[in-house]
Amino acid sequence: MKRWTTTWIVPVLLASVVSAWLPSRSWAQPVDIQLRSPHVTIAGTTIRIADIADLRGGSATVRRAIADLDLDEFTATEFAIDITSERVRYRILLAGIDDRQFSVRPGDRLVARHVAPLNASRAVELGICRQLSEVFAISEDSIDVQLLVPLDAAVQGCGLDVATLRVAAQLPAELPIGQRNIELTLSDASGHTHTLNAAVRFAVYRDLVMVKGNVSRGELLDESKIERVRRPIDNPQVRFASYDQVVGSVAQSDLQQFSLVKSHAIKSADTAVEQVEIRRNMLMNIIVRQGGLSVTLKNARARQNGRVGDTIEFINPTTQRIIRAKIIDSMTALIEM
């Protein structure tokens, strides 16, 4: 009897080990997440991952948990929101899901647009947007049109059918940006026509550059400190820098976290290393950098004369101790830890 029991115990134990091992291998496969680029339309006000991405493979439980996570919400004035794969990844990690359980391809992006219930004002905005797209050969996804005064009452008062509404706007010769007063001719399938004036805000989406964290004057802007973002621009007077212009340049002023980089806020690295002369007792800012972190000591006093590229002594404004830092421009020195 003892020999018979031992003979059957070993296969049973092996079967238990194998059955426990197989699910773990299946669970180890990550959920593959692919954004539905370049844009999606959403009926609800809340944007969830399931609305903007396809989820395949991995654990069904993890897929459901990821799909239900909320990313953002549309507001009364915001009908288009930029979504990046980095933002999706951060939201999943924030929910406590281990990054080994999912995979998001970096660099993917899309624009989520809100499909509001049909109303006259929205129908007019969409009609103007389509006309702008045709006249100026720009994708509708790159245009944002907003009526500053709702037209629902005016359209209903003239008896026009919103469902078949057609819009013809008197557009300027150049692409309008900012607030404009334009003449609209509205008609419907029954032949009714009405002309009115409307105040409209026009914006065009552009690929811009945003700083990920606070940047001090004189700091080098490399790829670890900036990221591409897509934003609507409604002021043609403001000049924003492109990604190629920003990467490798030097900040001419302090930049706050999440701010967009304007052209006047940067200068080339070649300009930054011009031979500026530093005199004893001058007050300068010292950037202390360790890895991806940096701290700025303001008003450190120079104890020696020097030029850009020289390492000289300063008095720490906090501890009054002597520290050594490398001069990188007329107002800034750097300590690399």
Cα 240 to Cα 227: distance, rounded to the nearest angstrom: 14
Which CATH fold topology does 24-114 show? eubacterium ventriosum atcc fold (2.60.480)
Cα 295 to Cα 178: distance, rounded to the nearest angstrom: 38
What is the structure's pLDDT at 37?
Answer: 83
Beta strand 332-336 pairing with 283-290: parallel
Cα 217 to Cα 144: distance, rounded to the nearest angstrom: 34
79 secondary structure, DSSP code: -
The encoded tokens of residue 137 equal: 């050969």
What is the structure's pLDDT at 23?
Answer: 45
Which helix (H) or strand (E) is 197 found in, with range?
strand 193-211
- 270-306 burial, b at 16+ Cβ within 10 Å, e below that, comes to eebeeeeebeeeeebbbbbbeeeebebbeebebeeeb
Architecture of the domain delimited by 273-336: Roll (2.30)
Q: Where are the domains of the chain?
A: 24-114, 120-205, 212-266, 273-336
Question: What does the angle CA 309 – CA 213 – CA 306 come to, to the nearest 5 degrees?
Answer: 15
What is the structure's pLDDT at 189?
Answer: 86
Spell out the long-range contacts of 326-329 with Cβ–Cβ below 8 A and sequence spacing 24 or more: 327/276, 327/278, 327/284, 328/218, 328/250, 328/272, 328/273, 329/218, 329/250, 329/272, 329/273, 329/276
Bridge-partner residues for 16, per DSSP? none
pLDDT per residue, tens digit, the chain (337 aa), is: 334 444 434 443 444 444 444 444 444 699 999 999 888 988 778 999 999 999 999 999 999 999 999 999 887 556 789 999 999 999 999 999 999 999 999 989 998 887 765 588 988 999 999 999 999 998 888 899 999 999 988 887 888 888 788 999 999 999 899 999 999 999 988 888 999 999 999 999 989 999 999 988 888 898 899 999 988 888 878 889 999 999 988 888 889 999 999 998 998 876 545 546 788 899 999 999 887 788 889 999 999 988 888 899 999 988 999 999 998 888 889 998 8
> What pTM did the predictor assign?
0.47
Listing DSSP states for 293-336 in one string gives: EEEEEEEEEESS-EETT-EEEEE-TTT--EEEEEE-SSSEEEEE
What is the structure's pLDDT at 10?
Answer: 44
140 closest CA partner among 88, 227, 63, 205: 205
Beta strand 226-233 pairing with 249-251: unpaired
The encoded tokens of residue 316 equal: 């720490």
What is the structure's pLDDT at 277?
Answer: 75
